[in-house]
Structure 1
Amino acid sequence: MSKVLVTGGSGYLATHLIAALLRDGREVRATVRSTAAREAELRAAVRRGGADDAGLEVVAADLMSDAGWSAALAGCAEVHHVASPSPVTQPKDPDELIVPAREGVLRVLRAARDAGARRTVLTSSFAAIGYSPKPVPDYTEEDWTDPDTPGLAPYPRSKAIAERAAWDLMAREGGDLELVVVNPTFILGPTLTTDLRASAQFVKAMLDGTLSVLPRQYFGVADVRDVADLHLRAMAAPEAAGRRYLALADGPTISYLDLARTLRRRLGAAAARVPTEEAPGAEPRRSVIHNDRARKELGWIPRPAETTIVETAESLRDLGLLDNPA
């Protein structure tokens, strides 16, 4: 059986995906920008995920350079393209996100095609689906964020542009390569790495008390373990080729205030510093986001959002990442 390539190997989602693949007995090659800076932490992370890292090869490849990608793809029939910029704050120059997101996905898809890979599963985002206004805020995989939407932040713009570029490339020059796209909402869940990404940093800021006021916004939650599982299902199912799959927990979208209340209710004194006030402003509309396609076509069963929220906080505590643990 050929090796599986996972890009952005040291990331929040990628470490869970690599651990799941290794637990299934697959040999994995993971790309990182620098093996010197990332390999040790990546191996520690997958071991935290209950996997033996003996079957893991770590190589250097950067989304903004052609160097290393041909070698990274050699002998890999399956590619999980997870790497993409995900900032804590929005940059002043949108191209800081747009260019690496777009150029990175095109570089990986071309390398996968040229290497004779069977399928690439791409991590996109709900940001590529539901960030343009609709008369009724009800979203499925048929919806697209318009990157020219007035006031659209750089991150959702980058995700919409990068995913469109991926589908356009496949239509023009994809050859025999198949593409499947996973579109998760706000990813939470236990972290395997101590180098926290944006969403886990947000929960940490709530628990540490460094975030005093909550944004006034509704959003969907997707468990990082469930998104990894959806990647695996999307790779395995023949009928998934050419499809997009929204990933989010069952139930309604939540607000940051709902998230805070869950932490306080379930964690007690450990959540004493979690803020209780929302930023001023009009009440936003609560979107409806559908996960029916992934459930019906791929047999995907996501965790409840409350479980995900609590286990995110518990993992931060267990790894000693909170400034003021109770």
Structure 2
Amino acid sequence: MRKVLLTGISGFIGQHCAVALLKSGYAVKGSVRSLSKATRITEVIAKEVDPKGNLEFCELDLLKDTGWDEAAADCDFIMHVASPFFSKVPKDENELIKPAVEGTVRALKAAHKAGIKRVVLTSSMVAMLGAVKGDEHITQASWTDVHAKNATAYLKSKTLAEKAAWDYATANGIELVTIHPGPVYGPTLSSNLSGESMTLFKRVLTGELQQMIHASINMSDVRDVADIHVAALENEHAKGERFIVASEKAYSYKDITTLLKNSGYEKVSTKIAPTFMVKLLANFNSEMKGMLPYAGKKYEGDISKTQEVFNWKPVAFDKMVLDTAIAVQTVLDA
């Protein structure tokens, strides 16, 4: 049985990747920062699929060399999902950039030492935003300009980490595939609503968030993201490619709130914050500053290559939004 070293298994995307891998017949070695998380993660995954003894854990830190070579030694593939993410702009941008870049390089180095042929890396559409001016048509060839005025620490972290991965893979003969979701939603497998995606829906559903920013981008269902990660492991046409895994067109945050409101979620507000107000507040609020690359803008990605290579059709936008809402509301009602 082929084994995959899956970094970041405790996260929203990581848990879905673990389930998709096990369902596809792979053994999974999931990395966590502390092995104390292993029991809880196993319980979450076991609700979706019986691991049948094919799930194990190892302890890895994106900022430390310890354990990487040993973790990769008996694996056939690496799926590097782990990367820091929060929308607020940190005081020091290296809080995001350093672990993202160094962790990615550690994963590639471990693959090279272990003789692993292919690595699948979770990147993002934020690594493809061009000059970060909006109204961008995004393709596989698009890259974010990290020197652009509104390039935040998160945009820089994903872009620089991916570029470091391509440089190392090219120099060392590793087959690299990068996966680029937009904002990722879909049902959570756990009761943890602390991640960015689940927190947004929680705040919207409870009425805490009264205004959304005016912004549009292709949005992603976590189930699609996980499935394409798995499909990319052995698809011969995937090597050396960047794949946008998201909806066929761009959607706005107002599209989300309007759908929820029309579906009976009464506390949801459909108001939109004026873009000038977001820009003003960004001078004083780190969360608003993190929204500047998107406020008042539209980014539209071309998913045709992903559809062609994987014979794939994304989960419908309405299903993604409503399945997310149901999952979050279930946790809130528990």
Give TM-score scaled by structure 1 length. Answer: 0.92
Aligned partner of 1:147 in structure 2 is 146
In 2, Cα distance between equivalents of 1:222 and 1:161? 22
Aligned partner of 2:281 in structure 1 is none
SS for the counterpart of 2:275 is coil
User: What amino acid sits opposite 1:298 in the alignment?
Assistant: F
Unmatched 5+ stretches in structure 2: 277-294
In 1, Cα distance between equivalents of 2:307 and 2:328? 29
User: What amino acid sits opposite 1:272 in the alignment?
Assistant: E
User: What amino acid sits opposite 1:62 in the alignment?
Assistant: D
Tell me by how many angstroms 1:52 deviates: 2.9
Contact 2:132 2:150 in 1 (8 A): no
The correspondence for 2:306, drawn from 269, 291, 294, is: 294
% same residue = 35
CA spacing shift, 1:135–1:128, aligned 2, 3 Å: closer
User: Residues 34-82 of structure 1: CA distance to partner in whole angstroms, max 9, x if unpaired?
Assistant: 011x212211221232343631001111111011111110111111100
SS for the counterpart of 1:89 is coil
Aligned partner of 2:257 in structure 1 is 260
In 2, Cα distance between equivalents of 1:245 and 1:60? 29
User: What amino acid sits opposite 2:302 in the alignment?
Assistant: H
Greater Cα offset, 119-128 or 272-281? 272-281
In 2, Cα distance between equivalents of 1:249 and 1:46? 26
In 2, Cα distance between equivalents of 1:83 and 1:11? 8
Contact 1:7 1:30 in 2 (8 A): yes
User: What amino acid sits opposite 2:34 in the alignment?
Assistant: S
CA spacing shift, 1:169–1:140, aligned 2, 3 Å: same
Give TM-score scaled by structure 2 length. Answer: 0.90
Contact 1:130 1:143 in 2 (8 A): yes
CA spacing shift, 1:53–1:306, aligned 2, 3 Å: farther
Aligned partner of 2:217 in structure 1 is 219
SS for the counterpart of 2:29 is strand
User: What amino acid sits opposite 1:74 in the alignment?
Assistant: A
In 2, Cα distance between equivalents of 1:244 and 1:56? 28
Tell me by how many angstroms 1:26 deviates: 1.9
User: What amino acid sits opposite 2:198 in the alignment?
Assistant: A
Contact 1:17 1:229 in 2 (8 A): yes
Tell me by how many angstroms 1:181 deviates: 0.4
Greater Cα offset, 195-204 or 48-57? 48-57
Greater Cα offset, 213-222 or 9-18? 213-222
Contact 2:261 2:269 in 1 (8 A): no
User: What amino acid sits opposite 1:305 in the alignment?
Assistant: F
- The yes-or-no answer on 1:170 pairing with 2:182 is no
Aligned partner of 1:284 in structure 2 is 296
Aligned partner of 2:201 in structure 1 is 203
In 1, Cα distance between equivalents of 2:25 and 2:239? 24
Equivalences for residues 187-202 of structure 1 within 5 A: 187-196=184-193, 197-202=195-200
Tell me by how many angstroms 1:133 deviates: 3.8
Aligned length: 315
- The yes-or-no answer on 1:313 pairing with 2:312 is no
Tell me by how many angstroms 1:131 deviates: 5.2
Aligned partner of 1:29 in structure 2 is 29
CA spacing shift, 1:88–1:287, aligned 2, 3 Å: closer
In 2, Cα distance between equivalents of 1:58 and 1:113? 21
Aligned partner of 2:104 in structure 1 is 105
CA spacing shift, 1:178–1:216, aligned 2, 3 Å: same
Contact 1:81 1:122 in 2 (8 A): yes
Tell me by how many angstroms 1:111 deviates: 0.5
User: What amino acid sits opposite 2:54 in the alignment?
Assistant: G
The correspondence for 1:182, drawn from 174, 179, 195, is: 179
SS for the counterpart of 1:146 is coil
SS for the counterpart of 1:254 is strand
User: What amino acid sits opposite 1:23 in the alignment?
Assistant: K
Contact 1:178 1:241 in 2 (8 A): yes
Contact 1:129 1:143 in 2 (8 A): yes
In 1, Cα distance between equivalents of 2:202 and 2:134? 35
User: What amino acid sits opposite 1:55 in the alignment?
Assistant: N
Contact 1:127 1:159 in 2 (8 A): yes
Contact 1:137 1:288 in 2 (8 A): yes
Contact 1:20 1:51 in 2 (8 A): no
In 1, Cα distance between equivalents of 2:259 and 2:196? 20
SS for the counterpart of 1:54 is coil
Tell me by how many angstroms 1:210 deviates: 1.9
Greater Cα offset, 158-167 or 279-288? 279-288
Q: CA RMSD in A?
A: 1.8
User: What amino acid sits opposite 1:156 in the alignment?
Assistant: L
Equivalences for residues 30-179 of structure 1 within 5 A: 30-36=30-36, 38-52=37-51, 54-130=53-129, 132-133=131-132, 137-172=136-171, 174-175=172-173, 177-179=174-176
Unmatched 5+ stretches in structure 1: none
CA spacing shift, 1:101–1:229, aligned 2, 3 Å: same
In 2, Cα distance between equivalents of 1:72 and 1:82? 15
Tell me by how many angstroms 1:134 deviates: 6.1
SS for the counterpart of 1:41 is helix
Contact 2:212 2:253 in 1 (8 A): yes
